[in-house]
Amino acid sequence: MSTVIGTATGTAGEGGPSLPQERRLVTEIPGPRSRELLARKQAAVPPGIGTTLPVFVTHAGGGVVVDADGNSLIDFGSGIAVTGVGNAAPRVVERVRRQVADFTHTCFMVTPYESYVRVAEELNRITPGDHEKRTFLLNSGAEAVENAVKVARHATGRQAVVVFEHGYHGRTLLTMTLTAKNMPYKHGFGPFAPEVYRVPLAYPFRWPTGPENCAEEAAAQVIDKITKEIGAGNVAAVVIEPIAGEGGFIEPAPGFLPAILEFCRRNGIVFVADEVQTGFSRTGDLFACEHEGIVPDIIVTAKGIAGGLPLAAVTGRAEILDRVHVGGLGGTYGGNPLACEAALGVLETIEAEDLTGRARRIGAAMLPRLRALAERNPVIGDVRGRGAMIAVELVVPGTTDPHPTAAAEIAARCHAEGLLVLTAGTYGNVLRFLPPLVIPDHLLEEGLAILEKAVNET
Ligand code: PLZ
């Protein structure tokens, strides 16, 4: 057995891909040191801040997370789709290290710096569409979604925002309103923001007349609702995730997104793609919109953009973004220099290591095994996803009734065996897998074997 890297206090500077790429359990999960820290957390942090797996991390990198007891867990979560390039990715670490010693903050609105401009140039170049674009930077996905709505309202002079069932866009007042699910995101937190309208999503697995009718019928319902209940001429923006993330990795039936986009184009509605979870190679395309050739008017990114440093972006048509008056957009930290350097390191890594191709190969390895698992286990009702954004939806066998307790039970079994998985879904019955794109094959294989065993035993 190799040396234990994670100590009670942690050792500085030993994370990243050079960590031993192995699953290693030296205590039960969570171990005594993590339990001690959990007790402190419970005394110091309100319970509203939940915990998926209470191991306290000291190091992470490649495909593993190392905890305070010296356990090394296989990471199928990437900090919720953030560390696609891996934790403490060398190009990110190197750039941030240099930047933190040069200067840490000036506020880009006060005295600018080049890295922000470079990130904007890069995003303008790599996001879908070859029209003229602008980008501005913020701190979180929610903040970026809010800003996309601000810009769309300003440019159109309209107020209504259309969002979808199963959608997730954040936890601030506006984005919580845009989010579909009551528990835990909205319950007791009202009143919500006005002028937000929710329409159906083309959810193939749950479409009443079958997946083959889903795209066409769902699009017709959306268009009918917008036309009859809101008025297309009142709608500033349609905001949609090209694959619904927190909602359960729902890929809208093929044809749905193009139909909605086309309706937006015809009616002067700003089409906003929320690629906070799907962006930066996660789905096997640099952006999930590319899969169906969708060119959004505005694309919102965050999470995978900066390898774990807080950064988010709004990228959109110059003629929309340029409409806002001088000083109308901003924030103290948006596009912080450390986060910008990290983003440049991420983009270099994606290209140098072909992480888009790597995401496709991860999907190609996972999907057949999960489909075979589903054949043997009727508790798995659906296997879906693209690239390294894969999920299984659990049902009461023989029905399509959601089975959230099975999801929780399988996740708990995986956690106990040292495999970090996340749940999702409007009904809480989806297990989702978001491995770092740099995860070595042997850990991917081992993680799948643990998952298979957990499903078989449930
Ligand atoms: N849009 C599509 O997935 C964040 C939420 C974690 P922030 N998803 C993870 C939690 O429970 O709070 C997300 C997303 C999509 C927007 C957001 C919001 O991004 O960076 O969390 O604000």
> pLDDT tens-digit profile of 319-337?
999 999 999 999 999 999 9
Look up residue 18 and give its two tokens: 């050079």
Is 246 close to ligand 1, i.e. is its CB under 6 Å away? yes
As a whole number, mean pLDDT of residues 363-374 equals: 98
Is 171 close to ligand 1, i.e. is its CB under 6 Å away? yes
The pLDDT, as a whole number, for residue 1 is 40
As a whole number, mean pLDDT of residues 53-80 equals: 98
260-313 per-position pLDDT tens digit = 999 999 999 999 999 999 999 999 999 999 999 999 999 999 999 999 999 999
Determine the distance separating the centroid of ligand 1 and the alpha carbon of 140, expressed in angstroms. 8
Atom of ligand 1 nearest to the CA of 310: 20
Is 385 close to ligand 1, i.e. is its CB under 6 Å away? no
Is 302 close to ligand 1, i.e. is its CB under 6 Å away? yes
Order the strands of the 235-240 sheet from edge to edge. 133-138, 312-317, 298-301, 270-274, 235-240, 160-164, 196-199
- What pTM does this model have? 0.97
182-238 per-position pLDDT tens digit = 999 999 999 999 999 999 999 999 999 999 999 999 999 999 999 999 999 999 999
CB 396 within 8 A of CB 358: no
C-alpha of 208 from chain center: 28
pLDDT at 10 exceeding the cut of 80: no
Is 248 close to ligand 1, i.e. is its CB under 6 Å away? no
CB 317 within 8 A of CB 131: yes
276: buried, middle or exposed (CB in 10 Å: 19+, 13-18, 0-12)? buried
- Banded pLDDT at 14 (limits 50, 70, 90): confident
Above pLDDT 70, what percent of the chain? 97
- Banded pLDDT at 11 (limits 50, 70, 90): low
Determine the distance separating the centroid of ligand 1 and the alpha carbon of 457, expressed in angstroms. 32
Look up residue 360 and give its two tokens: 């496709």
